[in-house]
Structure 1
Amino acid sequence: MHATSALGAQDTANAAAERHRRAARKAEAEYESLARRLAPATFGSGGGECDEIVGRFCLRFDTGEPRPVPPEAPRVVEARRNAVETLRRAFAAVPGDLRIAGSLVRYLVEDGRPEEAVAAAEAFAWATSDSTWKELLVAFGMHARGDDSAAERRFAEGIARLPPEEARRLERVDVLLAAEERRFYRGLDEEGQRQYERELWVAADPLYLTPGNEARAEHFARHVWARLLSQAPVVYGMVPWGKDLDELTLRYGVPVGRERDVSSWTLDVRMIEHFDPDQLAYVPERLRTRGLGEAPLPGEPSPLENPRARSGYAPLTFRRLLPFAHQVTRFPAGDSVVLRVDGALALDSVALEGGAGRTAATALFVLDSAYVHVTERRERAASVRDTFFVSFETTLPPGRFVYSLEALEDETRLAGRARYEVTLEAPGPGELALSDILIAHPYRDAELPRTRDAPGLAPRALLIVQPTDTLGLYAEVSGLADGGDGATRYRVEVSIRRTGESGISRAVRWVGRTLGLVGPDTPPRVSWTGAGVAGGVEPLAVDLDLAGLKPGLYVVQLAVEDLVTGQRRESQKAIRIARPDA
């Protein structure tokens, strides 16, 4: 009799759990259906050529100003919240059911309630015997609330419990890479692939200033998204889950808006789904075949803003990331090189709403060619009017490095970043050593700087200038030979030419010095001779007036000849002269 009662009670509990499951499934289907039926209608937006075909889907990139993401209809929001409450009741009845717990966590994240999502995931972790998904679901919720350090740890714990083949599926990065890079990656053995993945995620980390690696955590979170979305009820206007949706989810995440294309003459519903327009291309899709590359020429876009990037992501740990305007200058120092980076980050309209006096964490990070951090410099910065100005120096051995100049404003979480490759070369014994040209604000009548830290040396971070500007130039030369009397003698030539044109565009006009042209029948150059003390570093500083130059990209070139030995070295830097109305 008691056994019969126990079985009867179990049957009743099972029946109640099944009713909750059916109710949850119905509420989910209602939400999924309304999200498509009530999507804003558009006529003809789905036409035109595909930029890329991914399985059943036509992918088009927004190369102009992105269209505003259509907002959700109030009934859609209401249906999702109703689904959440229905799933909560089902979850209370069967807290160890992954399909119910996963849907609940997913809808809470979609509804902008990440704290509740983490709480639900932790309750599932307590109730379930699934040692893998209890970690993955909690990590998914933590990532949604921006706690990426903790999320990475939980993702690692969950992936470690997967069968090796399934774990490798989550860890692999094939889908994020360009075709030629993908072939290179697949040609590596497993150890080589793992090393590649480590380097890729270090390079892809949006900011080294923030804890955790948001991009890597997002990659694993997108695998969880794909699993949860694959279990969603299929409704009218929706296609069954497949490998193509897996790929799109891993590359761009989940859509943030959708529209119904009503221009088709057929009765089929064609949905247009929009990915987050604020995504940036953090994952380098050609890390080995091209590398991160050196900094773009003045006026060229940042690779982060590539509208046709293979993948994209918009982290939650900062509000917006802007390219950090900066200038890199290399100064030989014996058998080492001083790397100097001067930057300027202008505040956007949101950061300016609170008035002046913003503060930020800023840093220069340097990594070696294997993407191992070798040094960093950090400092607090206060805005001057509407801009953060920073200047960092660090001494490094010769070699190929990656630098990352970063800033994160405290209150509104505006971020700036410049991350590129740089090659440092030191002269050999007895060789003449010439630094890069440092482009600065003009010296005019002030004393010319004798050292890099002179108060009159004010570097420009943005090398886009106006045709009415005057530039200050600064460089350093060392290794000049002793002329026998303890003194060195040298000649300096400075020229400016427009790229793509032969010769020099014009004779440059100097402020603060009287300089003569080398000759009337040669491309215009200016030169002067100087003398210094043997064994020292000789500073070279002068103003350059740009008046009369047409808009375009120019190269400023500085050459030094040792008049004792005849050795000659050249250095150059690109500037862009903007149109007057730009």
Structure 2
Amino acid sequence: MTSLSPVLALLHLVWSQQPDSLTTLRAARRAQATFEAIRRQHLPYGSGHAGGTCDLRIGRFCYWYDDDRQPPEHAAAEPQLIRDARATLLAALDDAGARLPGDEWIAGQRVRYLVEAGRDHAAVGAARECRADGWWCAALLGLALHAAGDFTSADSAFDAALRNMPAPERCRWYDLAPLLPDKLRHRYERLSCDDRAAFESRWWWLAAPLLSRPGNDRRTEHFARLTLARIGQTSGTAYGLGWGDDLRELLLRFGWPTYWTREASPSVTAPEPLIVGHDPTPAFHFFPSARAFDAPADATSDDWTLAASHAPEGYAPAYADSFQQLEDQAAMFRRGDSCLVVAAYDLSDDALFGHQAAQAALVVARDEHSRWVAQHPARSDGPDVLTLSASCDAQLLSLEIVAPGARRVARVRHGIRAGGASGSGPAGLDVLLFDAPDSLPGELSAVLSHVLGTTRVRADRKLGLFWELYGVTSPAGPVSASLAVTPLGVGWLRRTVEALGLASHTATMRLHWDEGPATRAGDVAVASRALAVDLSALSPGRYRIELTVKAPGQEPATASREIEVVRP
């Protein structure tokens, strides 16, 4: 017979002395509390926090953003004794679950500790064995499926739980107020629970880490946290403290700790070691700005700050150690009653993506209910272009590169709008930048192999601009066009120095020309235009390229692109 250590023997004794099924639940609760006491007594020691200034004070808890303060490597390794104690607890909970399959507390603890032990598939099995209220069993299944990485099934399980839970509980679970920026929270809180559905649906759509994949793991992470909060509120904690609103807030904002450490108390009057929970890392801030929420089609890439320092919340996807901002270039061109979306990127300067199998995906969507997707293997040796046909509505675009083996993701997200309406003239131009060859291409299909995957352009190479005119068939006169390249962000000091003649003026480029009307192609007059621009006279810096086209009897149309001129 294998001997038990004293602490494991205590845990075993707590359970074995309660054979009567009528006292099963009480014994299970004692076994859980005993495990947490054993955990606290045998946590490894960390360092660097006790006595320091809090980055955030949340109720009883001091929170630090561990950007540059990592615990010793040994601290993240859970001692074998704690693992053994958890295994003993799980055996007791399995026995209790067999005796009381309809008890929601036992069912929740089984799933919780199986997930904590990394036994995700066993957690799914335990959730399926649950015989408590149907909505609670569905929530436990969602938690287990999310932990197992099956986000689509987790989404479905949580939806089932939300449909069937009591109305007051459902309202609390749907409540986004603790996660919203002030501007949106005030508006959201004025809505009734029933009136919040459209708001919540848009919020989770915009917060999805990857729009190219089914399921929304940021949403399922939120409901998994809510499930853990309900489990935790009636059980012992690793901190040795009772559950409270502060623990719930920490959990909803930053997730369930992946491990805990102890630190010596700085107080002589309270000598008990401090317990420090360590959140999953690296965590990213996937929530959109208020501006992007209000007008997704007008959003810019700056409306998502994935690596925001001291973000108000965070989520660490289990499938990625890196979520970086991607540079891109995108445009929309009309094709009858639909539009061709063109998006390009360039990973050739990213050594970490080199030699890694990756998938590139282009997604455009009017809203959370519509989606067009194009995918193909990603390139890392130069610019890559993806195209798809979609409606010509104002859209949200997401360009996503996923390298599963390297656990890396790069993405960019912003709004995009089409060119002029069919037959209405040149209004709403869009411009595509390309590396101009000696002979300029005359059609979009010929331009695609030269499209730039960034808006950073070299001063020693001619910059190609491609655009199309729609519906310009009037013989009333020529179409006039102009191009201006103007510097951005020239400060007052630079302007003063230039005025005094102590520095050369920042170059500005202007061109103007006239051309004949478009010819009709099919049912819409489409004219393709390409121009090569010499940027060698421009100083390095950021510029706005503005193209204006005016047809006789019609309002002028303008398209612009911001570029950064760099030296080779």
Which secondary structure state, in structure 2, belongs to the residue aligned with residue 365 of structure 1? strand
* Structure 2 contact 385–448 (Cα < 8 Å) conserved: no
Check if 1:570 corresponds to 2:558: yes
Contact (CA 8 Å) 1:436, 1:573: kept in 2 or not? no
The residue type paired with residue 544 of structure 1 is V
Structure 1 partner of 2:77: 72
Residues 93-492 of structure 1 mapped to structure 2, 5 A cutoff: 93-123=99-129, 125=130, 128-234=131-237, 237-262=239-264, 264-266=266-268, 267=271, 269-284=273-288, 286=290, 290-292=294-296, 294=298, 296=300, 302-316=304-318, 320-331=322-333, 338-344=340-346, 352=354, 355=355, 358=357, 360=359, 362-368=361-367, 371-373=368-370, 375-379=371-375, 381-386=376-381, 389-398=384-393, 400-409=394-403, 414-424=408-418, 426=420, 431-433=425-427, 435-443=429-437, 445=438, 447-455=439-447, 457-466=449-458, 468-478=460-470, 480=472, 482=474, 488-492=478-482
Paired with 2:153 and 2:475, the residues of 1 have a C-alpha distance of: 64
Encode CA deviations 1:281-324: one digit per residue, 9 max, x unaligned.
Answer: 23336378755574547xx6952332343332233466654434
CA apart distance, 1:96: 3.9
After TM superposition, give the deviation of residue 42 of structure 1 in Å. 1.3
Deviation at 1:175, TM superposition (A): 1.5
- 1:148-201 CA distance string (max 9 Å, x none): 222233223333332211121112211111122111011123332122122222
Secondary structure of the 1:209 match is coil
> Structure 1 residues 555 and 64 mapped into 2: Cα distance closer, same or farther (>3 Å)?
farther
* AA aligned opposite 2:53: G
Q: % of aligned pairs identical?
A: 26
Tell me the equivalent position of 1:498: 488
Alpha-carbon distance change, 160 to 480 in structure 1, aligned in 2, over 3 angstroms: closer
Tell me whether 343-352 or 162-171 shows the greater mean CA deviation. 343-352
Distance 2:483 2:491 in 1: 19
CA distance in structure 2 between the partners assigned to 1:181 and 1:72 by the alignment: 41
- One-letter code aligned to 2:384: F
Moved more, 16-25 or 145-154: 16-25
Q: Residue 546 of structure 2 aligns with which residue?
A: 557
> Structure 1's 420 and 21: CA in aligned 2 closer, same or farther, altered over 3 A?
same
Using the alignment, how far apart are the partners of 1:440 and 1:384 within structure 2? Answer: 17
Structure 2 residue runs of 5 or longer lacking an equivalent are 1-17, 496-504, 520-524
Compared CA separation, residues 427 and 280, structure 1 to 2 (3 A): same
Task: Say if 1:145 and 1:386 are closer, same or farther in 2 by CA, change over 3 A.
Answer: farther
The residue type paired with residue 489 of structure 2 is T
* SS of aligned partner of 2:445: coil
Q: How far has the Cα of 1:431 moved from its partner?
A: 4.6
AA paired with 2:282? D
Q: Counterpart of 2:90 in 1: which secondary structure?
A: helix
Alpha-carbon separation, structure 1, partners of 2:195 and 2:347: 38
Name the CA distance, whole Å, in 2 between partners of 1:170 and 1:231: 17
Preserved CA contact (<8 Å) 1:285 1:310: no
* Alpha-carbon spacing, 1:528–1:540, altered in 2? closer, same or farther (3 Å): farther
Distance 1:493 1:143, change over 3 A: closer
- Give the secondary-structure state (helix, strand or coil) at the position aligned to 2:531: strand
Task: After TM superposition, give the deviation of residue 145 of structure 1 in Å.
Answer: 0.7
Displacement after TM superposition at 1:468 (Å): 4.6
Partner SS state of residue 104, structure 1: helix
8 Å CA contact 1:364, 1:392 repeated in 2:
no
Are 1:483 and 1:489, in contact at CA under 8 Å, matched by a contact in 2?
A: no
Give distance in 2, aligned partners of 1:188 and 1:15. 46
Q: Find the aligned partners of 2:231 and 2:211 in 1 and give their Cα distance.
A: 30
SS of residue in 2 equivalent to 1:325: coil
Deviation for aligned residue 1:341: 2.6
Distance between the aligned counterparts of 1:478 and 1:15, measured in 2? Answer: 79
Tell me the amino acid that sits aligned with residue 257 of structure 2. Answer: P
What is the alpha-carbon distance in structure 1 between the residues aligned to residue 452 and residue 280 of structure 2? Answer: 34
The match for 2:3 is none
- Letter of the structure 2 residue corresponding to residue 340 of structure 1: V
Deviation at 1:137, TM superposition (A): 1.7
Query: Any idea what SS the aligned residue of 2:530 has?
Result: strand
TM-score of the pair, normalised by structure 1: 0.78
What is the alpha-carbon distance in structure 1 between the residues aligned to residue 546 and residue 291 of structure 2? 31
Residue 412 and residue 252 in structure 1: after superposition, are their counterparts in 2 closer, same or farther (change >3 A)? same
In 1, distance between residues paired with 2:138 and 2:448?
A: 57
Partner of 1:511: none
8 A contact 1:561–1:567 mirrored in 2: yes
Please name the residue that 1:544 is paired with: 533
Gaps of 5+ in 1: 1-10, 506-520
- 1:531-551 deviation line (CA, Å, top 9, x unaligned): 334445443323334446444
Cα separation, partners in 2 of 1:68 and 1:395, compared to 1, 3 Å: farther
- 3-state DSSP of counterpart to 2:415: strand
- Paired amino acid for 1:452: L
CA distance in 2 between partners of 1:183 and 1:209 (Å): 31
2:250 & 2:236 partners in 1: Cα distance? 19
Supply the AA of the counterpart residue of 2:244: G
The 1:501–1:53 alpha-carbon spacing in structure 2 relative to 1, beyond 3 Å, is: same
Distance 2:487 2:68 in 1: 32
Q: 1:118 to 1:377 in 2, by over 3 A?
A: closer
Does the C-alpha gap of structure 1 residues 274 and 470 become closer, same or farther in structure 2, counting only changes over 3 Å? farther
3-state SS of paired residue (1:247): helix
Task: Give the secondary-structure state (helix, strand or coil) at the position aligned to 1:41.
Answer: coil
Deviation of the 1:568 alpha carbon? 4.2
Deviation of 1:136 (Å): 2.0
Tell me the distance in 1 between the aligned counterparts of 2:459 and 2:325: 24
